[in-house]
Amino acid sequence: MTGAAAENAATDVPAGLTVTVDGEPLAFAPGQTLAAALVASGRVAWRTTRGGRRPRGVFCGIGVCYDCLVTVDGRRGQRACLVQARAGMAVTTGEGDDG
């Protein structure tokens, strides 16, 4: 999402609903998954494959493909498309690109 769509998504978020992604605040709307919040902010990829270093983000959106893995509050291997965003969460991206 880019341009006006991303700007509109950001204005629809109530104040105070943020998670921290790689040390930066990310606003989200009530009921959004982490993947939805990332995509709404304009991020379509947040990790790379181990072998080919190919970008990955949300693909299936239903937890089957495991392309959207992130670390949430220290727990690795969380599927961003299934984890509902909660205020105060600490999310680290880049999972899978370390080996």
Say if 72 falls within a structural domain.
yes
Residue 98 lies in a domain: no
What is the structure's pLDDT at 70?
97
pLDDT of residue 51: 86
Cα 52 to Cα 17, 18, 48, 95, distances in angstroms: 35, 32, 8, 14
Query: Is 9 inside a domain boundary?
Result: yes
Does 99 map to a domain?
A: no
CATH of the domain at 84: 3.10.20.440
**What is the H or E stretch that residue 91 is in?**
strand 90-92
Q: Tokens 């880019």 label which residue?
A: 2
Say how many domains are in the chain: 1
**Digit-coded pLDDT (tens) for 4-13:** 444 545 556 5
Helix (H) or strand (E) holding 26: strand 24-27
Q: Over the stretch 48-94, which tens digit does the pLDDT of each residue have?
A: 988 889 999 999 999 999 999 999 999 999 999 999 999 999 999 99
- C-alpha 88/C-alpha 68 separation (Å) is 20
Question: Does 97 reside within a domain?
Answer: no
DSSP class of residue 12?
Answer: T
Give the number of other Cβ atoms within 10 Å of residue 82's Cβ: 13
pLDDT at residue 28 tops 60? yes
Residue at 1: amino acid letter: M
Contact 83, 71 (CB under 8 A): no
